[in-house]
Structure 1
Amino acid sequence: LLDQAFALGRLESILADVVRPVLERIGDDWAAGHQMIAGEHLLAAAVRARLERLLSDARGTVRGTAVLACPAGERHELGLLALAVLLQEDGWQVAYLGADTPIGSVLDFAAVVSARVVCLGLCMEHAAGELERVLADTKTPEGVALVLGGPGATHERVDRLGALYAGCELGPAVEQLRALAPA
């Protein structure tokens, strides 16, 4: 069914209207004790494999480089991986570093590749709190916009960190990032 959905629809629509609601439902059921974690992991693995295949289809860049990662302690990466695929489709050169990546390494890498943006995905409160603590002592490279998205990226947290808020919706996040680097 997942392959059919990806084959028949627009990528952004499939991610927003099919994949996200199913993953959220499974996560909610698991949190309520109604779902085995194995079912969530099975679906997540299938979605991750599909998104990684799409991301490996490199395209020409017109907007610049975007570095995407989940900070240390954050393992929920599918939303950020979906954003990476959509940004690549929108003309970005994407460097997707994945889950549980120390922020110092992310920012060092962003400087090396002359990234325009660093996008961090936040779901879990413990990872978001740790990110705040580390960023208080870390400088974002000159000319790099720090963008936070996901349920853990509250407006208050984003303001405290001097970052930009991407929210939880993929389409608006892509539009916001597009405005940072028009083609």
Structure 2
Amino acid sequence: MTAATTAADPTDAYAGYLDCLADADEYAAIDMAIGLLDAGVPAERVLLDLVAPAQSEVGERWARNEWSVAQEHAATHISEQVVAAVAAHANPRPTGGRVVVACMDGEWHALPPRLVAEVLRLRGWQVTFLGASVPAAHLVSYLHRYDAHAVALACALPMRLPYAHRMIEACRRSDVPVVVGGRGFGADGRWARRLGVAWAPNAPAAAELIADERALRGVPPARLAHLADDEYASLVRRRGELIDGALADLRERVPAARAYSPTQLDATVSDLGHIVDFLAAAVYVDDPSLFTEFVEWLSEILLSRGVPAGAVARPLDHYGVALRDFPRAVRVLALGRAALPAADR
């Protein structure tokens, strides 16, 4: 065991823990976490001051193209094993009611809500963690079977917000209060407020909200009157057509695209689809910043992977023409175009 693994503070152990993730050394990572617990560090601190920030750094290394998808998946698996080991070592006994924790339907980033689940468990709640991508109907069926005090739902990607809203409303129809979290609701929770749901920026805040049922239920209603224009629904119906048209346009304008490998083609179609999905989500919540933040991020990701400048601007231009009869979508696309770095315009 290295000197870092014997540290009695999560912040001191952080660099060594990242090394364990980089080396895919599951056993050393678990030993480090258990060593902190044995040194008297509370389990909640190990989870929130060691595992959580390390996982954020893993995502950043993937985004900077320093780590491959395989390395990111391996590191995430190790952190999941560490969380399980910490939970087993702490082994708290519930003193409160049942809280159900789950990812939104289509949401696969399960480690952050798992951390929330374990913090709630450490604070005395009887927690059921349903994991990644839980269909709304299955969640509601579970709530009907078990008497839940609250539901905590996670969303990492803003493009899932329309689905998140349907899931939130399904829980409410079961008379179970909801708290949400994750980057998908905005760094300040602004899209949670737009959907009329309680939002927590982190696990301790979620625990405090869940303990205060009055605050949990006393949120202003959703502000979605703009959906009456049917622009969002019409945009979603045209998703496949838009992607096909953008791909055809790309092949016509960029001859090299005609020789893409199957892997390159899959990645391109995926990116074109994500642009449509983020655009639709921005129209749903009536907030262009959702889309502009996404195109800035996508431009950075593609640049780090050597994709030529203009790769984002071209589909934005194509979608702008194809959606000329969609005034809110056209406005969002124009703002996204303006937000691109000068080299990409």
- TM-score, length-scaled by structure 2: 0.47
Report the structure, 1 or 2, having the larger strand content: 1
1:113–1:41 distance in 2 versus 1, CA, 3 Å: same
Alignment match, 1:90: 123
Q: Which runs of 5+ in 2 are unaligned?
A: 1-27, 215-345
Is residue 2:175 matched to residue 1:148?
no
Give the letter aligned to residue 192 of structure 2: V
Is residue 2:102 matched to residue 1:69?
yes
Give the letter aligned to residue 123 of structure 2: D
Alignment match, 2:146: 113
1:95–1:21 distance in 2 versus 1, CA, 3 Å: same
1:63–1:141 distance in 2 versus 1, CA, 3 Å: farther
The offset of 1:116, in angstroms, is 0.8
Answer whether contact 1:67 1:119 (CA < 8 A) is retained: yes
Answer whether contact 1:12 1:171 (CA < 8 A) is retained: no
Alignment match, 2:339: none
**Take 1:166 and 1:103, find their aligned partners in 2: how far apart are those partners?**
21
Q: RCO (CA 8 Å, sep 6+): is it higher in 1 or 2?
A: 1
Alignment match, 1:130: 163
Question: What SS does the aligned partner of 2:185 have?
Answer: coil
Question: What SS does the aligned partner of 1:173 have?
Answer: helix
Is residue 2:82 matched to residue 1:50?
yes
Alignment match, 2:196: 162
Alignment match, 2:35: 7
The offset of 1:13, in angstroms, is 1.5
The offset of 1:111, in angstroms, is 2.6
Report the structure, 1 or 2, having the larger helix content: 2
1:60–1:45 distance in 2 versus 1, CA, 3 Å: same
Deviates more, 1:59-68 or 1:156-165: 156-165
Q: Which runs of 5+ in 1 are unaligned?
A: none
1:35–1:55 distance in 2 versus 1, CA, 3 Å: same
Answer whether contact 1:26 1:40 (CA < 8 A) is retained: yes
Deviations along 1:64-106, one digit per CA (max 9) or x if unpaired, are 0000100111101111101111111111111110001112221
Give the letter aligned to residue 159 of structure 2: H
Deviates more, 1:54-63 or 1:86-95: 54-63
Give the letter aligned to residue 59 of structure 2: G
**Take 1:11 and 1:67, find their aligned partners in 2: how far apart are those partners?**
21
Q: CA RMSD in A?
A: 2.4
**Take 2:169 and 2:95, find their aligned partners in 1: how far apart are those partners?**
33
Question: What SS does the aligned partner of 1:110 have?
Answer: helix
- TM-score, length-scaled by structure 1: 0.84
**Take 1:74 and 1:68, find their aligned partners in 2: how far apart are those partners?**
13
The offset of 1:42, in angstroms, is 1.2
Instruction: Give every structure 1 segment of 4 or more consecutive aligned residues whose post-TM-superposition deviation is greater than 6 Å.
Output: none
The percent identity for this pair of structures is 25
Answer whether contact 2:192 2:199 (CA < 8 A) is retained: yes
Question: What SS does the aligned partner of 1:30 have?
Answer: helix
**Take 1:136 and 1:90, find their aligned partners in 2: how far apart are those partners?**
24
**Take 1:162 and 1:47, find their aligned partners in 2: how far apart are those partners?**
33
Answer whether contact 1:73 1:126 (CA < 8 A) is retained: no
